Amino acid sequence: MSQFLLLLYNDTTRPPNLSPDEMQKMLERYMAWREKPFTLDGKRLAEDVGRVIRSNSGKPRTSDGPYSETKEVLAGFYLIEAANYDEAVKLALTNPHAERGAIEVRQIYGS
């Protein structure tokens, strides 16, 4: 089996309009998905802005990020096992985030 990283992105231009009860139910769906047999790990990212390191003329430069003009922000990830990309995408489509954001599916090198 190969390993795939599912990167979950939120659209900052469309904040979720959920009641506290709806938010709790959504959270429960994410937690249940994390318990699936093919899911190896999964975490929500902290709500800080993070840091970005970029090379500037061969020298690393650190800045805050992501920036406010960004329309999508990385919100979390899942690490899953699947036979191939087709299966990984099929599994990703069952993730609750597919209903409200974007999911990038990437194979882990060497897995």
What does pLDDT average to over the chain?
Answer: 87
Q: What is the DSSP letter of 110?
A: T
pLDDT in tens, 83-104: 999 999 999 999 999 988 899 9
Q: pTM for the complete prediction?
A: 0.82
Q: Measured between alpha carbons, how far is 84 from 56 in angstroms, rounded to an integer?
A: 37
Whole domain around residue 102: which residue ranges?
Answer: 2-107
In tens, the pLDDT along 7-27 reads 999 887 676 788 889 889 988
Can you tell me the distance from the alpha carbon of 47 to that of 16, in angstroms, rounded to the nearest whole number? 15
CATH number at residue 50: 3.30.70.1060
Count of structural domains, the chain: 1
